[in-house]
């Protein structure tokens, strides 16, 4: 009887503690969502993705690596360089604007604006770290590869691939350093978008940031569904730089197959961005998402972005990084990201308006 009474007495206390915890969580989420530029939503997205990747790491015994690549196998340059250049360009433009434009009494403090923008850049770096960490483990978590089925689709639509080859050979070779532009064009899209929206405080800025973070997060998780290495394992593409990178990345893949997570733990720091994942094409997803926001913003960059989108579509196949079937699934990722972004940002339209001046 005494035990029953004690239990009954504990119930209200337990319920009260649960209610207090729930209220505390709701309060923290509300405070985050009240931050300008949808910064809170960005923090929640990155936090949720980081927690998901950490949980996967615990389940599969996957190691987190401290990147030590001098040159990224995927990018062809040190992975830190694009971030450093973007931050340098942003700060340069921000300082120039502050010097050329007379500050108004209603303007928010400059240091506050810079702090918000650099926090978003830190979130981009963080989500990229967890993205590549998960991509490195994909081939161990899901060793089933669908390259044979995807290559059969390529063979069924061989005239389309031949057309991409012709466009690449007859048009793209007119551009100096053609082989390097597949990666460089993507970096250009991100850097120019971030700097132009951030410095101008364009209302599309928060949506752009949320969209990029969601693409990195959902894109990495989508690699787990039906993975593939890429059509280069069957035939060589037209991009010499890509062919060289593919050979090195394939050797690393074979080491992972032999030794699993132990090899990733030992060699991972020097192989951080070198994992293979063809399905879906996140180059297509990123290019489509950033072009969508450029169109929505009526940006002067839109014509350039449309050309880059076309470039990425043709080059992704002609270089044999991707199968034809990877492209529509990349666009599907982009569609989901855009839909989610607009849903997230629609919840607080006043904040979106405020982003133009904060």
Q: Which residue has the higher pLDDT, 226 or 353?
A: 226
pLDDT at residue 18 in the model: 55
| Residue 150 within a domain | yes
- Rounded mean pLDDT of 333-347? 89
| Residue 188 within a domain | yes
| Residue 26 within a domain | no
How far apart (Å, rounded) are the C-alpha atoms in residues 328 and 316? Answer: 12
- Rounded mean pLDDT of 22-43? 63
Percent of the chain exceeding pLDDT 90 equals 42
pLDDT in tens, 77-122: 667 788 888 889 988 988 888 778 766 666 677 888 888 899 999 9
Helix (H, G, I), strand (E, B) or coil at 209: helix
User: What φ, ψ does residue 83 adopt, rounded to 5°?
Assistant: -65, -45
- Rounded mean pLDDT of 117-129? 92
Domain that holds residue 119: 36-354
| Residue 4 within a domain | no
pLDDT at residue 327 in the model: 94
| Residue 245 within a domain | yes
| Residue 30 within a domain | no
| Residue 23 within a domain | no
| Residue 209 within a domain | yes
How far apart (Å, rounded) are the C-alpha atoms in residues 64 and 54? Answer: 9
pLDDT in tens, 271-329: 888 888 889 999 999 999 999 999 999 999 999 999 989 988 998 999 999 999 999 99
Domain count for the chain:
1
Q: What is the DSSP letter of 109?
A: P
pLDDT at residue 133 in the model: 92
How far apart (Å, rounded) are the C-alpha atoms in residues 91 and 118? Answer: 10
């Amino acid at each position: 009887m005494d035990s029953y009474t004690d239990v009954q007495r504990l119930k209200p206390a337990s319920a009260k503690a649960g209610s207090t915890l729930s209220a505390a969580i709701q309060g923290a989420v509300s405070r985050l969502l009240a931050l300008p530029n949808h910064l809170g939503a960005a923090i929640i997205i990155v936090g949720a993705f980081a927690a998901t990747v950490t949980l996967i790491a615990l389940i599969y015994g996957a190691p987190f690596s401290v990147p030590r690549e001098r040159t990224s196998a995927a990018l062809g340059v040190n992975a830190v360089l694009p971030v450093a250049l973007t931050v340098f360009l942003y700060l340069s433009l921000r300082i120039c604007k502050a010097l050329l434009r007379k500050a108004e009494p209603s303007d928010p403090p400059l240091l506050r604006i810079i702090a918000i923008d650099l926090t978003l850049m830190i979130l981009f770096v963080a989500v990229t770290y967890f993205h590549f960490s998960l991509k490195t483990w994909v081939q161990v978590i899901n060793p089933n590869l669908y390259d044979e089925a995807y290559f059969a689709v390529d063979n069924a639509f061989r005239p389309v691939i031949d057309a991409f080859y012709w466009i690449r050979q007859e048009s793209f070779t007119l551009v100096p350093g053609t082989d390097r532009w597949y990666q460089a064009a993507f970096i250009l899209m991100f850097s120019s978008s971030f700097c132009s929206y951030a410095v101008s405080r364009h209302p599309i800025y928060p949506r752009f940031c949320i969209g990029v973070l969601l693409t990195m997060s959902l894109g990495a998780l989508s690699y787990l569904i039906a993975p593939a290495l890429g059509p280069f394992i069957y035939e060589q593409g037209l991009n010499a730089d890509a062919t060289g990178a593919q050979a090195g990345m394939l050797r690393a893949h074979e080491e992972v197959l032999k030794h699993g997570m132990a090899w990733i733990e030992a060699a991972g720091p020097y192989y951080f961005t070198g994992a293979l994942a063809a399905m879906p094409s996140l180059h297509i997803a990123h290019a489509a998402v950033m072009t969508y926001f450029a169109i929505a913003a009526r940006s002067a960059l839109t014509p350039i972005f449309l050309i880059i989108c076309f470039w990425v579509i043709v080059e992704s196949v002609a270089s044999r990084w991707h199968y034809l079937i990877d492209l529509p699934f990349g666009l599907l990722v982009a569609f989901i990201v855009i839909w989610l972004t607009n849903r997230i940002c629609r919840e607080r339209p006043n904040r979106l308006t405020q982003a133009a001046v904060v």
